[in-house]
Amino acid sequence: MGGTQPEVVAHPVADQVDDAVIYLKGHANVAPDSQVNLRALRRKIDRRLMPCMFCCYVLQFLDKVMLNYAAVMGIKKDLGLVGNDFTNVATWFFIAYLITEVPNVYCLQKAPPAKWLGGNVFLWGVAAAASAGAQGYPTLLVARIFLGIFEATVGPSLMLISSQYYTRSEQAPRFTIWYMGLGIAQIIGGIISFGFQHVHHASLEGWRIMFLVLGLVTAFIGVLTFFFIPDTPMKAPWLSENEKVALLQHVSENQTGVWSTALNLKQIWEAIADIQLWLLTVTTILISVSSGVVTTYSSTLIAGFGFSGPISALLNTPSGVIGIFFTLLVGFGIRKTSNRWAWIVLCTIPGIIGGGLLSFLPQSNKAGVLIGIYLVNAIVATLPIIYQWTMANCAGHTKRAFASALVAGSFSVGNIIGPQTFQTHDAPGYQPAKIAVLATQAAAAVLSVMLLLYYKWQNSYRDQTKGRVDESRANETRWAGLTDKQNPSFRYVY
């Protein structure tokens, strides 16, 4: 990973120069990367970044899934929710999440992603705690809308932070580490719900105390994130000058840049017209339909078997185990073998089987339907693949910020559709929702193969029209601020 120092810049527009270029120019006399142990450097960065990023993702899913558990803790009765009120509360969270991704593109371009993330984590903690004070459908709806607004930045921010510190092959296991928080949150959430359902003779209902406690914990993690994750690698106080230079030279092979505050509207238009982004977007929507079902209604489905609220919460914890297993499998599998498309297909297979069990087994077959609910959770492991794929194949800081917001927004679209497949007139079996899970996961597998074919075609076309990648030319374009479409040395990973 060491070697000669590459050229720093290749004719970027003056007001669009990546901050890494300025830093490298000012530290041209610093020792080259061959004198820094990159493996030790990665471990140092992991120790500093991963705990905060992991906690943020645990809490963002935990704060969402708490509504799932509150459903079996009496929130519907306590707040007088009738008809589709509960479904609408879940849906409006993601509508707010989706709408907020539009200003997020601008904010992530102008504000360092770590600062923007920390501030929003604090505010969503406040919104989560405020949910404890809901007195009916309107107040719960308002609290959940604000929660959606502040949570919208978590995915894009974590994607951008990860891409600043790691190469494309290194990003996959790191995305896995923080995304694994989703499965951990499912397990913790079930245990927390079980515990709070045994709180009696208190002045507040168990679900209110649960929202309040988790909200305060989230706000505290937000403060830590704001102050402990640096704005950029160049501003990390725990890295020496040699380590910063070595890191920047190392990640320059991504050809995606590190940080620039210049908003390039041409890159946004390029992203809008980019076929790969729309394939990634639709794939994310299809996958997220199942995620929306898991997030909002898995406890309700389990409770439909006649289990009590506390037992329903505990029976939901194996879903997290399945999610963790597949997330680890694909994250480290990609690091070893690449083939992102194949890992997506692999995860959809148990998801399709689970959807089939849910759809076609009679409700009386509790064991079979429970296994179906658990297997569907394998599909959640595909989302970090798509997040990492997006960051790996989109170059140019504005385009990457837009792409991260677009994919995160498409996640919310799927989560809007998912809960809406649960209609009160379909209870208790919710057959249309279960069939939707089966169909969307099968379609996601097909689209991942289409992405493979698209990337292979693009790389082949570039080899034919622009020639094979010239390493000397590639060195010149590493910090040029070019998008993947503009950069003749860029090749897509799949």
Residue 100 pLDDT more than 60?
yes
User: How high is the pLDDT of residue 356?
Assistant: 83
The whole-angstrom separation of Cα 345 and Cα 277 is 18
- Using a pLDDT cut of 70, give the percent of the chain over it: 85
The whole-angstrom separation of Cα 313 and Cα 316 is 5
User: Hey, where are the domains in the chain?
Assistant: 44-239, 265-493
pLDDT tens track for 414-461: 878 876 776 767 766 667 777 887 888 889 999 999 999 999 999 998
Q: What band does 7 get if pLDDT is binned at 50, 70 and 90?
A: very low
User: How high is the pLDDT of residue 217?
Assistant: 93
Query: Locate tokens 């073998």: which residue?
Result: 337
- Residue 408's nearest CA partner among 164, 103, 131, 69 is 103
The whole-angstrom separation of Cα 346 and Cα 335 is 16
Among 44-58, 94-108, 289-303, 368-382, name the one with the lowest average pLDDT: 289-303
Residue 473 pLDDT more than 80?
no
Which tokens belong to 397? 């800081």
Residue 350 pLDDT more than 70?
yes
pTM: 0.74
First-to-final CA distance of the chain: 22
Mean pLDDT value of segment 143-165: 88
pLDDT tens track for 306-319: 776 677 767 777 88
Mean of all residue pLDDT scores within the chain: 81
Among 20-29, 136-145, 437-446, 458-467, name the one with the lowest average pLDDT: 20-29
CATH topology for the 44-239 domain: Growth Hormone; Chain: A; (1.20.1250)
CATH H-level superfamily of 265-493: MFS general substrate transporter like domains (1.20.1250.20)
Q: What band does 1 get if pLDDT is binned at 50, 70 and 90?
A: very low
Residue 292 pLDDT more than 50?
yes
The whole-angstrom separation of Cα 105 and Cα 176 is 24
Residue 16 pLDDT more than 80?
no
Residue 8 pLDDT more than 50?
no
Mean pLDDT value of segment 75-85: 85
Mean pLDDT value of segment 121-135: 91
Mean pLDDT value of segment 130-135: 89
**Residues in contact with 395: Cβ distance below 8 Å, sequence separation at least 6, in sequence order:** 254, 255, 256, 257, 482, 483, 484, 487, 490
Residue 82 pLDDT more than 80?
yes
Mean pLDDT value of segment 295-322: 73
Q: What band does 3 get if pLDDT is binned at 50, 70 and 90?
A: very low
Mean pLDDT value of segment 343-352: 89
- Residue 122's nearest CA partner among 30, 179, 59 is 59
User: How high is the pLDDT of residue 119?
Assistant: 94
The whole-angstrom separation of Cα 34 and Cα 351 is 45
Q: What band does 2 get if pLDDT is binned at 50, 70 and 90?
A: very low
User: How high is the pLDDT of residue 323?
Assistant: 83
User: How high is the pLDDT of residue 428?
Assistant: 66
User: How high is the pLDDT of residue 281?
Assistant: 93
Q: Which residue did the predictor score with more confidence, 234 or 1?
A: 234
Given this chain, do its domains 44-239 and 265-493 carry the same CATH topology? yes
User: How high is the pLDDT of residue 279?
Assistant: 94
The whole-angstrom separation of Cα 159 and Cα 166 is 11
Residue 282 pLDDT more than 50?
yes
- DSSP-derived letter for residue 32 is P
